[in-house]
A and B are shown apart, each in its own frame.
Chain A
Amino acid sequence: MSRETLVGSRCVRGDAADKVCGDAKFLDDYTFPGELHAALVLSPHAHARILSIDATAARESDRVVAVLLAADVPGANQIGCVFEDQPLLAVDRVRFVGDRVGVVVAETREAAREAARLVRVAYEPLPGVFDPEDALAQGAPRIHEGGNLLRHQKVRHGLGREGFAGCDVVVEKTFRVNYQEHAYLEPQACAAVPSCDGMTVYGSMQCPFYVQAGVTRVLGVDTSRVQVIQATTGGAFGGKEDYPSEIAAVAALAAARTGRPVKLVLDRHEDMQVSTKRHRMAMRYRVGAMRDGTLVALDATLHVDAGGYAGLSTVVAERANCAASGPYRFRHAAVDTLIVYTNNLLGGAFRGFGNPQVTFATECILELVAAEIGMDPVALRRKNLLVEGDLLVTGRPLPGSAPSHRVFDLLMEKSRYREMAASAAAFNQSSRHVRRGVGMALSLYGCCLHAGGQHREGSGALVQVRSDGSVEVSIGGTEAGQGAFTVMAQIAAETLGADYARVRVLASDTRMVPDSGPTVASRTTVMSGNAVRGACLQLRSRLKELAASLLGCASGDLEVARGEYRGPAASLPFAALCNEAQRRKLSLFASGWYAPPPRAWDTETGQGEAYVTYCVSGHVAEAEVDLVGGVPRVCRIVAVHDVGRVVNPTLAEGQAQGGMVQGMGLATSENLQIDQGRCLNPGFTDYLIPTSMDVPEMEVWFVEDPYPDGPFGAKGLGEPSLIPVPAAVALAIANACGQRPQQLPVTPETVLRWMHDRSQGPGDAGGGVSPPGESCRRLSLPFPD
């Protein structure tokens, strides 16, 4: 058997069997002795002054133990994770529908929820502002003391806006992307358990160290007093990056005040109203190009709707800011990203982190440029695709570990794009009620944290090998379904020569490893993976020395293969070696720490080494549109991902397919409707995520070009799997209608309007913008058949 065969093989997930059989325990499946339940008192107003709070009726209500308000917070009443702009419990003002005013703690969940409705809060409604551009206008209501412009991020590359001089054509258009709800199947949930030692928090989360920081601050205690343990987490997608800190801090406050364990589980409606969303963005793009198809200059202004508090908005926006040019070469670029407070829902982390929005804008404007100069849009993409050594708009060359042309060529080959387009055109010639179209999109994703967040990049691991050859691994990253723990087990088993089935990755626990930053940015395979590999390499070298002495050979002559250490003449089974190590009082306990070298970044110009490496992805989609109902159907999506090295093909395919379907949702059926800051469809009845009936035929291909700094050459995949999808799908639907998209999602109303416009006259390339607030289900436009 050759070395390192575990990495790259279809090892089965260690957690899957328990999940199938109902044995996996999610947070709400635990019962803590003496537990209480908390319910939130939430603002029904998008913007209001709090005049008074009367909790008498709630306090007197049956089975209620406590009602806690801002004054009850023992430490800092502050939960903002980047800016200190968000009180845990509102003091004198609320800034979005769902802002927390108080918490009711009761013997049962029902009693807590009922009593929460009895807390009488007198509000004086204030004028609200619900559009970022309005929020920046003179005289707009101020949401925070410092004004509504939270941050202005920039990229200045080449001559910036001066770079348009001499361009043959200039195309300009504004694109919009609506909110997207994560719709993880398990709603937000946590529990705080007090003890004489401090507080232990369990929860459904991505980032135990964020939760620890939030709880520590609110309780006003030492970090060492707060232990955070991740429970089995039922999906996250970014939605459990920062929000769990908020409810964990509330639960911990309640547990500290009552001295009893407190559970806080949101119901779906509450969850959808109060938790973060993919940012709504308006993106004005202007692109200058030459007649031969050379892209020259980009001018983009992004309005990012942060909602009532900053949360992670500036961090998300920085990614959009740096990715605004997609995977394409521009000699000159000026990007202005305005992150703006409004009284809308909170924008936050969501798979892709600002990148899907700008990828949509970039791909759409490229199609317009191609039309303007009369060039095939696929050829335009190929001509301008960044290749190794080309400068990114952030001023650094694209590294060789992002093989863009291999991705492009494989995508064209596997999707049979030309044939697909030709067959769609032929089909449309003969079809009366159904039209077909194809769309293509490519994306460039900066893998791991942006330079602005690099201080959080260090990642730890702890590996213990037991005397029977079983292995325990702890990492600072988390498992939310993506398969990180399986990947870690494969890396550990491969490096140690251990039996994969006997490697356990333990639940993430802040007491086991140093602060390893968040489980985001498709960084876990690289960062935690390198930390695990580092720890295992130390152990492997100890075991090799021991094996060499036992076998009477040089340690350099040993080969570590699955389950044994093999010398030239004889070999030792891994378990026997571990047993001998124990007898000889050798420590088989090691910690690993991985942190990439520092990178320079200039916030004024957006120039520097933004990311450690990049992932290139490409999707081709084929869609069908029923001209009577307007409902689009996505028939086929082909994906190509550059991932460095596939650690586990089954997991990688699963990630890619999940990303495709979630991205398809953003392009089609998922339409969160917000009116004056209130979500009108906060449930799965009206917010439609794709079902088994909607799934297209999917094909996934990987380009494996090892990333030198990744474990076994691997890079991330979690986010790239989604990023190009919405653009490819929207372009395919629009193509079926002979139009070009300007807005996501492409609703049935948009499709019907496109068809209506077409039947009225020549297609307008910019047409088909549906006004905000249109329902997916309200099919009001008559279709002229």
Chain B
Amino acid sequence: MEIGFVLNDRYVTVPVEGTQRLLAVLRDTLGCTEVKEGCGEGECGACTVLLDGRPVPSCSLFAFSASGRRVTTVKGLARSELERIRDAMVTHGAVQCGFCTPGFVLSIKALLDRVPCPTREQVREALAGNLCRCTGYEKIFEAVEALSSGVRP
């Protein structure tokens, strides 16, 4: 079957097989190598994409479930927004091996869209679906807090 969806602000149509995962379509058919496969069972979050603005593990979704919806990878973020997140993560040492990083970026973006000034607890919860084995998370928290505007409650 063929499905169509908006990928990073561009409408794309792709042939998919019934049980094909969204991750496979993104990486293998559409060449979105910025979306990573870490565990294949929706636990690590390396394959996170935004589906209509909400972070989801693309390894655990059938490709057809994206039909008619908006799929955003890290490459689909507005330039200024990506640069802001990038600068915070780079400066705060939130990146080590980097394999999990594009997934974190999307979860962070979704959090800040929802809650511009999250508390530490809200940051922890928002990132609970993204595993990082290198940093111990602390510097990622710091980067997010640097991004959040104003005074936190």
Spell out A's residues near B (CB within 8 Å).
Answer: 10, 12-13, 15-26, 28-29, 182-187, 232-237, 267-269, 480-483, 650-651, 653-654, 657-662, 683-685, 689, 691-693, 695, 698
Q: Are A185 and B91 in contact (CB under 8 A)?
A: no
B152 is an interface residue with CB less than 8 A from chain A: no
Taken together as a complex, chains A and B put the C-alpha atoms of A234 and B44 apart, in Å, by 13
Q: B86: which A residues are within 8 A, CB to CB? A: 17, 20-21
Q: B93: which A residues are within 8 A, CB to CB? A: 10, 13, 650-651, 653-654
Q: Output the nearest chain B residue to A29 by Cβ-Cβ distance.
A: B33
B147 is an interface residue with CB less than 8 A from chain A: no
Q: Across the A-B interface, give the 5 residue pairs with the lowest CB-CB distance, nearest first.
A: A22-B34, A481-B97, A19-B98, A234-B99, A657-B136
B16 is an interface residue with CB less than 8 A from chain A: no
Take A653-B139, A685-B43, A695-B137 as given contacts and tell me if A13 and B74 are in contact as well, using a CB distance cutoff of 8 Å.
no
Q: B95: which A residues are within 8 A, CB to CB? A: 13, 15-16, 19-20
Q: In terms of DSSP, what is the predominant structure of the interface of chain B? A: loop
Q: Are B98 and A692 in contact (CB under 8 A)?
A: no
Residue among B36, B37, B99, B134 with most chain A CB within 10 A: B134
Q: Are B98 and A232 in contact (CB under 8 A)?
A: yes
Q: Are B75 and A22 in contact (CB under 8 A)?
A: yes
Take A184-B97, A185-B99 as given contacts and tell me if A661 and B38 are in contact as well, using a CB distance cutoff of 8 Å.
no
Q: Are B96 and A482 in contact (CB under 8 A)?
A: yes
Q: Are B137 and A16 in contact (CB under 8 A)?
A: no
B101 is an interface residue with CB less than 8 A from chain A: yes
In whole Å, how far is A57's beta carbon from the nearest beta carbon of chain B?
23
In whole Å, how far is A31's beta carbon from the nearest beta carbon of chain B?
9
Q: B130: which A residues are within 8 A, CB to CB? A: 692
Known A22-B35, A661-B136, A695-B136; further 10 A-B contacts with Cβ < 8 A: A17-B86, A18-B98, A187-B37, A234-B99, A267-B40, A268-B40, A654-B134, A659-B136, A692-B137, A692-B141
B112 is an interface residue with CB less than 8 A from chain A: no
B89 is an interface residue with CB less than 8 A from chain A: yes
B110 is an interface residue with CB less than 8 A from chain A: no
**Per-residue contact bits, chain B 23-45, to A (CB 8 Å; 1 contact, 0 not):** 00000000001111111110110
Q: Which of B110-153 contact A (CB under 8 A)?
A: 123-125, 127-128, 130-141
20 contacts between A and B (CB under 8 A): A10-B93, A12-B90, A16-B89, A16-B90, A16-B95, A19-B101, A20-B82, A20-B85, A21-B74, A26-B36, A183-B133, A184-B97, A185-B44, A185-B46, A186-B99, A234-B36, A234-B97, A657-B136, A658-B134, A692-B141
Q: Output the nearest chain B residue to A662 by Cβ-Cβ distance.
A: B133
Taken together as a complex, chains A and B put the C-alpha atoms of A16 and B82 apart, in Å, by 13
In whole Å, how far is B43's beta carbon from the nearest beta carbon of chain A?
4
B102 is an interface residue with CB less than 8 A from chain A: yes
B22 is an interface residue with CB less than 8 A from chain A: no
Q: Are A15 and B98 in contact (CB under 8 A)?
A: yes
In whole Å, how far is A651's beta carbon from the nearest beta carbon of chain B?
7
Q: B125: which A residues are within 8 A, CB to CB? A: 692-693
Taken together as a complex, chains A and B put the C-alpha atoms of A617 and B27 apart, in Å, by 43
B105 is an interface residue with CB less than 8 A from chain A: yes
Take A20-B86, A234-B99 as given contacts and tell me if A695 and B33 are in contact as well, using a CB distance cutoff of 8 Å.
no
Q: A19: which B residues are within 8 A, CB to CB? A: 95, 97-98, 101-102
Q: Output the nearest chain B residue to A665 by Cβ-Cβ distance.
A: B133
In whole Å, how far is B86's beta carbon from the nearest beta carbon of chain A?
4
B58 is an interface residue with CB less than 8 A from chain A: no
In whole Å, how far is A636's beta carbon from the nearest beta carbon of chain B?
12
Taken together as a complex, chains A and B put the C-alpha atoms of A151 and B89 apart, in Å, by 47
Take A22-B73, A660-B136, A693-B125 as given contacts and tell me if A684 and B96 are in contact as well, using a CB distance cutoff of 8 Å.
no
B63 is an interface residue with CB less than 8 A from chain A: no
Q: B96: which A residues are within 8 A, CB to CB? A: 235, 481-483, 654, 658
Q: Are B37 and A28 in contact (CB under 8 A)?
A: yes
Q: Which of A22, A235, A691 contacts B134 (CB 8 A)?
A: A235
Q: B124: which A residues are within 8 A, CB to CB? A: 692-693, 695
Q: A16: which B residues are within 8 A, CB to CB? A: 89-90, 95, 98
Take A16-B98, A653-B93, A654-B139 as given contacts and tell me if A22 and B38 are in contact as well, using a CB distance cutoff of 8 Å.
no
Q: Are A689 and B131 in contact (CB under 8 A)?
A: yes
Q: Are A684 and B44 in contact (CB under 8 A)?
A: yes
Take A650-B93, A692-B124 as given contacts and tell me if A24 and B82 are in contact as well, using a CB distance cutoff of 8 Å.
no
Q: B132: which A residues are within 8 A, CB to CB? A: 185
Take A16-B89, A683-B41 as given contacts and tell me if A692 and B128 are in contact as well, using a CB distance cutoff of 8 Å.
yes
Q: A481: which B residues are within 8 A, CB to CB? A: 96-98, 134
Taken together as a complex, chains A and B put the C-alpha atoms of A761 and B140 apart, in Å, by 46
Residue among A21, A26, A233, A480 with most chain B CB within 10 A: A21
Q: Are B136 and A689 in contact (CB under 8 A)?
A: no
B100 is an interface residue with CB less than 8 A from chain A: yes
Q: Output the nearest chain B residue to A480 by Cβ-Cβ distance.
A: B97
Q: B139: which A residues are within 8 A, CB to CB? A: 650, 653-654, 657
Taken together as a complex, chains A and B put the C-alpha atoms of A670 and B95 apart, in Å, by 23
Taken together as a complex, chains A and B put the C-alpha atoms of A551 and B96 apart, in Å, by 43
Q: Output the nearest chain B residue to A183 by Cβ-Cβ distance.
A: B133
Q: B46: which A residues are within 8 A, CB to CB? A: 185
Q: Are B41 and A684 in contact (CB under 8 A)?
A: yes
Q: Are A17 and B90 in contact (CB under 8 A)?
A: yes
Taken together as a complex, chains A and B put the C-alpha atoms of A234 and B136 apart, in Å, by 15
Taken together as a complex, chains A and B put the C-alpha atoms of A627 and B131 apart, in Å, by 27
Q: Which of B40-59 contact A (CB under 8 A)?
A: 40-41, 43-44, 46
Taken together as a complex, chains A and B put the C-alpha atoms of A23 and B34 apart, in Å, by 7
In whole Å, how far is B139's beta carbon from the nearest beta carbon of chain A?
6
Taken together as a complex, chains A and B put the C-alpha atoms of A25 and B33 apart, in Å, by 8
Q: Output the nearest chain A residue to B101 by Cβ-Cβ distance.
A: A19
Q: A18: which B residues are within 8 A, CB to CB? A: 98
Q: B99: which A residues are within 8 A, CB to CB? A: 26, 184-186, 234-235
Taken together as a complex, chains A and B put the C-alpha atoms of A175 and B65 apart, in Å, by 50
Q: B97: which A residues are within 8 A, CB to CB? A: 19, 184-186, 233-236, 480-481
Q: Are A658 and B133 in contact (CB under 8 A)?
A: yes
Q: Are B135 and A654 in contact (CB under 8 A)?
A: yes
In whole Å, how far is B91's beta carbon from the nearest beta carbon of chain A?
6
Q: B74: which A residues are within 8 A, CB to CB? A: 20-22
Q: Which of A12, A269, A662 contacts B91 (CB 8 A)?
A: A12
Q: A695: which B residues are within 8 A, CB to CB? A: 124, 136-138, 141
Taken together as a complex, chains A and B put the C-alpha atoms of A22 and B86 apart, in Å, by 11
Q: A233: which B residues are within 8 A, CB to CB? A: 97
Take A185-B46, A185-B133 as given contacts and tell me if A692 and B33 are in contact as well, using a CB distance cutoff of 8 Å.
no
Take A16-B90, A268-B40, A482-B96 as given contacts and tell me if A22 and B128 are in contact as well, using a CB distance cutoff of 8 Å.
no
In whole Å, how far is A82's beta carbon from the nearest beta carbon of chain B?
27
Q: Output the nearest chain A residue to B38 by Cβ-Cβ distance.
A: A185
Q: B135: which A residues are within 8 A, CB to CB? A: 654, 657-658
Take A657-B136, A692-B123 as given contacts and tell me if A684 and B34 are in contact as well, using a CB distance cutoff of 8 Å.
no
Q: B100: which A residues are within 8 A, CB to CB? A: 185, 234
Q: Output the nearest chain B residue to A14 by Cβ-Cβ distance.
A: B90
Take A13-B95, A17-B86 as given contacts and tell me if A684 and B136 are in contact as well, using a CB distance cutoff of 8 Å.
no
Q: Output the nearest chain A residue to B139 by Cβ-Cβ distance.
A: A654
Q: Output the nearest chain B residue to A272 by Cβ-Cβ distance.
A: B39
Taken together as a complex, chains A and B put the C-alpha atoms of A235 and B99 apart, in Å, by 8
Taken together as a complex, chains A and B put the C-alpha atoms of A333 and B130 apart, in Å, by 46
Q: Output the nearest chain A residue to B99 by Cβ-Cβ distance.
A: A234
In whole Å, how far is B34's beta carbon from the nearest beta carbon of chain A?
3
Q: Are A684 and B39 in contact (CB under 8 A)?
A: yes
